[in-house]
Amino acid sequence: MRKPPAIGQRYRCTLVTDLTRTQIVQYAGASGDYNPLHTDERYAVEVGKNPSVFAHGMLTSGMTAHGLRSFFGDAPVLRFGGRFLAQVWPGDSLSLAATVAGIEDRDDTRVATIDFVTTNQHEDAVFKGSADVALAVEHATSAH
């Protein structure tokens, strides 16, 4: 059973090691974003003038949200979002660091606000944001 989070508590996990082009293609197929900048090396280099294909920002975002689940399990996420700060390339390795910034009760729900940053193997931030996670739902009853 997970220990309830406390303000200031920190978490860290690896999201991906050596990101593959295959995973980028998997994400293109699942999300429906077939922009060739992400999946078509010749296009990305010759037309897009990039060093190679690069990951969808939403792949990084999705991996980050999945990483949060490793900390908080199936707790419902009420809010999740962030800013994309740098491109993610094939071969990159990403880590997620999260901190419990606040805990408050909203109606019958205890909500933890989590600040997070996803960094690459150079410790450069690639995605940074926050999320609100519902930790527990108290089922109110009229019985006295």
Partner 1 sequence: MRVEPSHVMMFARAIGDLDAQLPQLGSEGVPVTFPVAVAQFEADYELRPSSTTPWFGSGATPGSPRPTAVEGTRLHAEQHFEYHRPIRVGEDLFVTRAPGERWTKVSSRGGELEFFETLTHVVDSNGDPVVTMKSVSVIVPDRGEA
> Contact positions toward partner 1, by CB under 8 A?
15-16, 23, 26-27, 29-37, 39-40, 42-43, 46-50, 57-59, 61-63, 65-68, 74, 76-84, 87, 129
- For 109, the token pair is 């729900």
Among residues 41 and 105, whose Cβ is nearest to partner 1? Answer: 41
If we measure between CA atoms, which residue out of 141, 116, 140, 112 comes closest to residue 129? 116
Among residues 34 and 108, whose Cβ is nearest to partner 1? Answer: 34
Q: How far is the CB of 56 from partner 1 (least distance, A)?
A: 8
Phi, psi of 61 (to 5 degrees): -60, -45
Q: How far is the CB of 141 from partner 1 (least distance, A)?
A: 21
Among residues 100 and 133, whose Cβ is nearest to partner 1? Answer: 133
Q: How far is the CB of 144 from partner 1 (least distance, A)?
A: 29
CA distance 142 to 14: 45
Its sign, for the CA torsion 42, 86, 19, 71, is negative
Contact indicator for 15, 64 with CB cutoff of 8 Å: yes
Q: How far is the CB of 143 from partner 1 (least distance, A)?
A: 26
